[in-house]
């Protein structure tokens, strides 16, 4: 995916240590069509340099990661497209920890359950990169694996491809440079 002539916006991203569902997340769960219309309007029509889009993307990413970290899957999947596909890090798949792909809400629930059993860590975002048709999140994994006690003070990155303003396909990498290369950027 070449990023020539594409507006790229990079900003720091942090999540709160403790969080709970926000008002807009509770509304999105009760009124999903309204949330879908908002996502289509803001994320499909506005360029990455739009201040409204930036505020929406950064808030949605922060709240989505906070939901993931507290294992609030109902909220986490609300940011995904109905045909959502999640691809865990290749290294974890090759080691036999995860399946190659998880599809839809049920698949993502399976992934999070396995993640909690195998890795069990918080994801600490450090930077979000908006490329218009996709969003890259660079993050840290600052803890130990639950089952083995192996330190996982490593890096993780996601590349989320957007359709109708929602994540439709997410690829995860254990190397920031590899994720950036996947979207045609360099570190």
Specify the DSSP class assigned to residue 40. Answer: I
Our count of domains for the chain comes to 1
User: Residue 61 domain-assigned?
Assistant: yes
What strand order describes the sheet that includes 9-12?
A: 9-12, 124-130, 134-141, 154-163, 166-173, 80-87, 102-103
Structure confidence by residue, pLDDT tens digits, 44-57: 888 899 999 999 89
**pLDDT digits over 85-141, tens only?**
999 999 989 989 899 999 998 998 888 888 777 666 778 999 999 999 999 999 998
Judge whether 4 lies within some domain: no
- Is residue 2 included in any domain, yes or no? no
Question: 54: domain range?
Answer: 9-182
Range with top average pLDDT, 27-31, 49-53, 78-82, 120-124: 49-53
The answer to the question of residue 97 being in a domain is yes
Provide the whole-model pTM.
0.84
Q: Residue 139 has what pLDDT?
A: 95
CATH assignment of the domain containing 18: 3.10.450.50
Q: Return phi, psi of residue 112, to 5°.
A: -65, -40
């Amino acid at each position: 995916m070449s990023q020539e002539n594409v507006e790229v916006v990079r900003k720091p991203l942090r999540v709160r240590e403790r969080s709970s569902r926000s008002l807009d997340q509770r509304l999105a769960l009760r009124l999903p069509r309204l949330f879908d219309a908002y996502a289509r309007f803001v994320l499909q029509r506005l360029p990455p340099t739009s201040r409204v889009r930036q505020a929406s993307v950064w808030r949605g990413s922060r709240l989505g990661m906070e939901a993931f970290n507290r294992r609030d899957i109902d909220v986490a999947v609300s940011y995904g497209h109905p045909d959502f596909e999640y691809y865990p890090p290749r290294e974890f798949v090759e080691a036999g920890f995860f399946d190659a792909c998880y599809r839809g809400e049920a698949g993502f629930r399976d992934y999070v359950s396995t993640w909690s059993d195998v890795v069990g860590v918080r994801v600490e975002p450090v930077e979000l990169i908006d490329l218009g048709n996709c969003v890259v999140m660079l993050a840290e994994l600052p803890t130990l694996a639950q089952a083995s006690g192996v330190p996982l003070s490593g890096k993780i990155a996601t590349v989320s491809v957007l359709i109708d303003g929602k994540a439709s396909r997410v690829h995860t990498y254990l190397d920031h440079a590899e994720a950036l290369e996947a979207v045609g950027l360099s570190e």
